[in-house]
Amino acid sequence: MRFSFVPIDPDLLRRRYVDEGLTAEQIAAQLECAPTTVLRRLRRFEIQVRSRGPGPACHGAAASLEWRPELAYALGLMATDGNLSSDRRHITFVSKDLDLVQTFRKCLGVTSQTRPTRSRCGGTNHRVQWCNRRVYDWFIGVGLTPAKSLTLGPLAVPDAFFADFFRGCIDGDGSVLVYTDRYHSAKKEHYVYERLYVSIVSASQAFIEWLQTTVSRLTGATGSITVARKQGRNPIWKLSYAKAESLRVLVWIYHARDVPCLDRKRVTAERFLLPLGHAPKRPTGRPRVGWLYGSSGIVQENTAGWFPFARATRILAAGEW
């Protein structure tokens, strides 16, 4: 039996073969052509052809791959602490925080179990690895690559979900730091200040610069970039936000109480996410920009949840903090 030429749309072919995971024979039956025709078109359109034979067992990823806060957050974790294997199937995520790994599994619907592993410093990390070509190809499609540490660049993240993505980056390779600065207390005992910093590090300059540009466009917080260089090692780039900008970023990424996040970092940030009150007594030192005080010594939560980002932006712009 001879088959006439069948025009095949590349987007349709990619959707059937990559997203839906159909075989060349199944696609050929739908398009009424030969399986070899489908394989030729896959190579012509530069679509990676799977190896022959039964595919490896795939675990989890029952969750939808349509954009949503949980998926964007998981992408942020993958961009920082995740790994895509060169075999184009296996996905790995490692963290010292067990609850972060469990949150990651929940966001993607992963059923593979978490296993403890030894870190380079002798501590304990927690690792989850599973095989799923559909999820792997989705990560590739948004810009992740195997061995991404030095080559990671801009990713295809919609603006509507960038706060969730950035929160994942902070939970992966970032920090929320609050400390008491007593550097000038020798001059005057009241010169004691609390400092708030939000930062993220990466070995990829392009990735850090893209984060800075996008966060600035969406929130107005510009931040600053520094680099640490050590002989024999790759430079480490750091994006930092301080003072009012750090508060602006925190209110933005923790836009709801039930967003997936790392608990210990949220606890640090939580005191800055509650509604404005007043200090029961005059604070020491200069007025803290953006600091929130409870009206009765204990900060109360409002009925709408956490402090709205839109209101925080208006107050910051008006200079009331």
The predicted structure's pLDDT at residue 299: 34
Measure the CA angle with vertex 182, ends 178 and 186; round to 5°. 175
Residue ranges in the chain modelled with pLDDT below 50: 1-3, 54-58, 62, 276-305, 307, 313-317, 319-321
The SS3 of residue 41 is: helix
| Neighbour tally for 99: CB within 10 Å | 13
> What does the buried/exposed string (b/e) look like for 220-230 if buried means 16 or more CB atoms within 10 Å of the residue's CB?
ebebeeeeeee
Say how far apart CA 206 and CA 152 lie, in whole Å.
Answer: 7
Give the SS3 label for residue 278: coil
| Residues forming a β-bridge with 180 | 194
Q: Measured between alpha carbons, how far is 190 from 196 in angstroms, rounded to an integer?
A: 18
Spatial separation of the C-alpha atoms in residues 319 and 238, rounded to whole Å: 28
Burial of 100 (0-12, 13-18, 19+ CB in 10 A): buried
Per-residue confidence (pLDDT) for residue 218, from 0 to 100:
96
DSSP β-bridge partners for residue 201 = 238
Using CB atoms within 10 Å of the CB of residue 233, give its burial: 0 to 12 exposed, 13 to 18 middle, 19+ buried. exposed
Radius of gyration of the chain (CA): 24
pTM of the model: 0.70
Burial of 231 (0-12, 13-18, 19+ CB in 10 A): exposed
